[in-house]
């Protein structure tokens, strides 16, 4: 295990303490939602807050933290209109013990149609990336328009969620992306009324314009597993996993690999 300024276990303990200190309810994004008995307004709301310690010998990457939410604004029975907002802060330890060096914003809208047990959505996705306590005067951002296919399968106490995305990059600043495709698979099994085991994996392929940065298509992915502990007002997920992230730093156009361990707070 790499030699860090502080051990991975100490970082996870600090993350757990931080979650208690903030005391913010949170919720996870769920890939599918059954229709209401009738049309409805504000039919689903989920909030999430997470922090993970990163096992990598690079001072730019020590923590990955997120908070945000997803809201079904209208459910029109045959589908739903959804808004997602997410903020990610990446912390290193270059200048101080907790050194936030990135702030990444995601805004997304979608409208779907339910076809049997499958849901198909048109998606507009915006991402902008910013540096914290570092000089950067030019924008790093992109807009993507695409399609998402969602499917949920259940067998007894086990639930499997599958999501597949494909989108064309409609506008970009600095980045060289042409299109983005991703597949997500989540498996959950209820162990008791308050305890659930889960595993999640995703694979991402990013098509690039080689004339802009002279490189090939980029590949990323994430695998994680853990347990979910349910409470009266919310839940916490304890997570461990591994990630390969495309363009982990906004400027150097290099993938990074790291192990991770942390938590996710949910509002249900």
7 pLDDT higher than 70: no
pLDDT at 213: 87
Query: Would you place residue 33 in the very low, low, confident or very high pLDDT band (cuts 50, 70, 90)?
Result: low
151 pLDDT higher than 60: yes
1 pLDDT higher than 50: no
Domain boundaries, the chain: 8-266
Pairing of strands 118-131, 99-115: antiparallel
From the candidate CATH numbers 3.40.50, 2.40.160, 1.10.3470, 2.60.40, the one assigned to the domain spanning 8-266: 2.40.160
Average pLDDT of the chain to the nearest whole number: 89
Per-residue pLDDT averaged across 100-124, rounded?
96
The answer for 220, left when phi > 0, alpha when psi is -120 to 50, beta otherwise, is beta
pLDDT at 73: 96
Query: Would you place residue 31 in the very low, low, confident or very high pLDDT band (cuts 50, 70, 90)?
Result: low
Angle at 186 between CA 207 and CA 170, to 5 degrees: 25
CA distance 229 to 190: 11
107 pLDDT higher than 70: yes
Bridge partners of residue 68, in order along the sequence: 48, 86
CA distance 185 to 222: 10
pLDDT at 134: 87
CA distance 165 to 177: 15
CA distance 106 to 91: 18
- CB burial of 88-101 (b: ≥16 within 10 Å; e: otherwise) equals bbbbbbeeeeebeb
Q: Which of 178, 183, 251 is nearest to 218 (CA)?
A: 178
Alpha-helix residue ranges (DSSP H) falling in 5-149: 8-22
266/10: higher pLDDT: 266
- How do residues 82-99 score in pLDDT, each as one tens digit? 999 999 999 999 999 999
167 pLDDT higher than 70: yes
268 pLDDT higher than 70: yes
Question: Quick one: 114 exposed, middle or buried, by C-beta within 10 A (0-12, 13-18, 19+)?
Answer: buried
pLDDT at 15: 40
Alpha-carbon Rg for the chain, nearest whole angstrom, is: 19
CA distance 262 to 18: 11
Q: What token pair was written down for 187?
A: 């498996």
CA distance 62 to 180: 27
Per-residue pLDDT averaged across 239-252, rounded?
96
Per-residue pLDDT averaged across 130-149, rounded?
94
pLDDT at 155: 94
CB 51 within 8 A of CB 262: yes
CB 140 within 8 A of CB 98: no
CB 192 within 8 A of CB 227: no
pLDDT at 191: 97
Per-residue pLDDT averaged across 186-199, rounded?
97
Main-chain phi, psi angles of 194, to 5 degrees: -120, 0
């Amino acid at each position: 295990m790499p030699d860090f300024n502080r051990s991975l276990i100490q970082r996870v303990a600090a993350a757990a303490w931080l979650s208690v200190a903030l005391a913010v309810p949170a919720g996870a994004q769920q890939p599918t939602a059954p229709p209401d008995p009738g049309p409805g307004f504000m039919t689903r709301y989920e909030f999430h807050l997470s922090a993970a310690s990163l096992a990598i010998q690079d001072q730019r990457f020590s923590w990955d933290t997120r908070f945000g939410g997803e809201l079904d604004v209208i459910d029109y029975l045959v589908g739903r209109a959804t808004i997602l907002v997410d903020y990610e802060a990446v912390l290193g330890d270059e200048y101080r013990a907790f050194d936030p060096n990135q702030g990444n914003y995601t805004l997304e809208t979608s409208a779907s149609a339910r076809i049997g047990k499958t849901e198909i959505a048109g998606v507009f996705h915006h991402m902008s990336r910013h540096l914290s306590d570092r000089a950067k005067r030019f924008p790093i951002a992109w807009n993507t328009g695409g399609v998402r296919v969602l499917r949920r399968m259940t067998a007894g106490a086990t639930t499997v969620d599958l999501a597949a995305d494909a989108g064309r990059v409609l506008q970009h600043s600095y980045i060289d992306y042409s299109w983005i495709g991703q597949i997500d698979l989540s498996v959950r099994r209820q162990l008791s009324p308050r305890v659930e085991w889960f595993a999640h994996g995703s694979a991402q392929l990013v098509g690039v314009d080689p004339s802009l940065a002279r490189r090939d298509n980029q590949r990323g992915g994430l695998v994680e597993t853990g347990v979910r502990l349910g409470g009266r007002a919310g839940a916490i997920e304890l997570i461990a996993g591994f990630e390969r992230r495309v363009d982990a730093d906004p400027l150097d156009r290099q993938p990074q690999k790291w192990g991770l361990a942390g938590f996710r707070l949910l509002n249900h």
